[in-house]
């Protein structure tokens, strides 16, 4: 297709070149705007990353208190949505605690270290702590934070430079854990005996997950990233947990649809959930990245958000060399079926990104007629608006 950037423009020494077709939204941005645009995006994201994290975690903590106190009823919790950890996976509020405990245990810290695709340096570290599955504390160390200059006692490397020094993501995570656990124990010594998990993730994978509007598509992203070595035959992971939590280790090698179905069952009782984009984040995208708002976010609603039966029956080639066709377009075999649009759900563009839990699940037939009656609720946590 004329006017689009070609895959060959990405240098062969790029550590994530052959992973990029697994991030269809980010790949779409590359094809339209090129590498230089993508490089500039890193700095822009720093302007809003703290606000996004604060909005999501403060809502999670506040809503959790309302549920535990009984101020939010069981029925309301069953119809409202929060996040698991990481704060990109939508979860029904009444299922959040059980899912978090099943994933990580009773008392635990999870640190997410995001690596710049271009420099291989760490962009930021996010750490979340949970007690009995309830999100209770968090911190975010961004690019200018002196925490990223903390050095490893044995190797002398700064946190920010470890992925550039250690080319293997598993080994990077192992080295990072040494320092991050020390930081946790200094900051919150009362949690020194809590379990600790480190997730190492390339920034393009993170951006792609933040831009997916369907929980089923999001779970497909997670499967793809964890399976780049096993299924797609790439030399390393796109992202990984260290050590891998027992839940993921038991399902990660399942077929992609089974993986999605299991996690969707745990997180939403199989309901389709569209992603919430908080007001501050949405305003930032519209003002600073209007081209992304149209190309990625609004276009998903215009093209239609696939119902679970479509997501579960979409076929992706099983080798990284087969992910693109001769014109550099991503190959995905998607079955014909109904999709959710603003029109058939009766949603205005202004309300499009409030996030919706829908009465549509993995057993809903491909040819279902979607109507506004499928809306159960919108919003996030204690800000939920109920339709039925």
In tens, the pLDDT along 135-186 reads 889 999 987 889 999 999 999 999 999 999 998 999 999 999 999 999 999 9
Asked whether residue 24 is domain-assigned, the answer is: no
Asked whether residue 22 is domain-assigned, the answer is no
Q: Is the pLDDT of residue 340 over 60?
A: yes
Could you report the per-residue pLDDT of 89-145, keeping only the tens digit for each? 899 999 998 999 999 999 999 999 999 999 999 999 999 999 998 888 999 998 788
- Checking if the pLDDT of 62 tops 90, the result is no
| 91 DSSP 8-state letter | E
Q: Which of 77-91, 105-119, 193-207, 340-354 has the lowest mean pLDDT?
A: 77-91
- Which residues are 305's β-sheet partners? 340
| Claim to verify: residue 243 and residue 298 sit in the same structural domain | no
d(CA 342, CA 340): 7
Same domain for 281 and 264: no
Average pLDDT, the chain: 93
From its phi and psi, is residue 198 left (phi > 0), alpha (psi between -120 and 50) or beta? beta
Whether residue 247 is found in the same domain as residue 361? no
Same domain, 140 and 200: yes
Residues 97 and 172 in one domain: yes
Inter-residue contact 355 to 380 (CB < 8 Å): yes
State whether 202 and 307 are in the same domain: no
Q: How many CA atoms lie within 13 A of 244 on its CB side?
A: 15
Q: Are residues 128 and 219 in the same domain?
A: yes
Task: Classify 143 as helix, strand or coil.
Answer: coil
Q: Residue 1: is its pLDDT beyond 50? A: no
pLDDT by residue (tens digit) across 3-46?
899 999 999 999 999 999 999 999 999 999 999 999 887 766 76
- Both tokens of 35, joined, read 């590498």
pLDDT > 50? residue 297: yes
List pLDDT tens digits, range 238-253. 999 999 999 999 999 9
66-80, 169-183, 188-202, 367-381: the lowest-pLDDT one: 66-80
Residue 164 lies in a domain: yes
The C-alpha atoms of residue 222 and residue 231 are separated, in whole angstroms, by 13
Query: Is 316 found in the same domain as 224?
Result: no
Count of the separate structural domains present in the chain: 2
**Quick one: 120 and 196 in the same domain?**
yes
Q: What is the pLDDT of residues 272-283, one digit of tens each?
A: 999 999 888 888
Q: Could you list the residue range(s) of the whole structural domain that residue 379 is in?
A: 274-386
pLDDT band at 60 (very low <50, low <70, confident <90, very high): confident
How are the residues of the chain apportioned to helix, strand and coil, as percentages rounded to the nearest 5?
A: 50, 20, 35
Distance between CA atoms of residues 93 and 179, nearest Å = 33
Does pTM surpass 0.85?
yes
Is there a domain that residue 37 lies in?
A: no
Residues 254, 115 within the same domain: yes
Query: What mean pLDDT is predicted for residues 354-382?
Result: 96
What pLDDT was estimated at residue 2?
A: 57
Q: Which of 49-53, 79-83, 380-384 has the lowest average pLDDT? A: 49-53
**What's the N-to-C CA distance of the chain in angstroms?**
46
Same domain, 252 and 290: no
Give how far Cα 199 sits from Cα of 81, 127, 243, 317, Å. 23, 10, 9, 26
């Amino acid at each position: 297709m004329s006017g689009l950037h070609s895959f060959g423009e990405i240098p062969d020494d790029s550590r994530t070149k052959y992973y990029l077709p697994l991030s269809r939204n980010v790949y779409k941005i590359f094809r339209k705007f090129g590498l230089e645009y993508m490089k500039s995006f890193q700095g822009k994201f720093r302007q809003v990353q703290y606000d996004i994290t604060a909005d999501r975690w403060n809502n999670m903590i506040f809503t959790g208190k309302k549920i535990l106190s009984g101020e939010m009823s069981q029925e309301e919790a069953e119809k409202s949505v929060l996040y698991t950890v990481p704060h990109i996976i939508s979860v029904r509020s009444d299922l959040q605690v059980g899912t978090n405990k099943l994933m990580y245990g009773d008392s635990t810290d999870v640190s997410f270290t995001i690596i710049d695709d271009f420099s291989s340096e760490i962009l930021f570290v996010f750490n979340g702590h949970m007690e009995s599955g309830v999100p209770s504390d968090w911190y975010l160390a961004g690019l200018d934070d002196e925490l990223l200059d903390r050095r490893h006692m044995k190797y002398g490397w700064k946190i920010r430079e470890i992925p550039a020094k250690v080319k293997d993501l598993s080994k990077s995570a192992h080295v990072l854990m040494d320092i991050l656990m020390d930081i946790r124990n200094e900051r919150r010594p009362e949690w020194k005996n809590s379990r600790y998990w480190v997730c190492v993730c390339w920034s393009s994978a993170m951006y792609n997950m933040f831009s997916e509007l369907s929980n089923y598509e999001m779970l497909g992203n997670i499967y793809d990233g964890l399976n780049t070595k096993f299924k797609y035959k790439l030399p390393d992971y796109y992202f990984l947990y260290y050590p891998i939590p027992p839940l993921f280790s038991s399902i990660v090698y399942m077929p992609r649809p089974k993986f999605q179905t299991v996690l969707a069952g745990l997180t939403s009782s199989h309901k389709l959930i569209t992603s919430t984009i908080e007001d501050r984040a949405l305003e930032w995208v519209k003002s600073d990245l209007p081209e992304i708002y149209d190309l990625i976010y609004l276009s998903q609603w215009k093209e239609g958000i696939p119902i679970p039966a479509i997501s579960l029956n979409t076929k992706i080639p099983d080798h990284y060399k087969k992910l693109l066709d001769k014109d550099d377009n991503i190959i995905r075999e998607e079955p014909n079926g109904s999709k959710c649009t603003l029109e058939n759900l009766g949603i205005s563009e202004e309300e499009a990104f409030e996030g919706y839990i829908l009465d549509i699940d993995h057993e809903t037939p491909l040819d279902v007629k979607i109507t506004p009656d499928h809306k159960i609720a919108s919003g996030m946590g204690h800000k939920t608006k109920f339709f039925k």
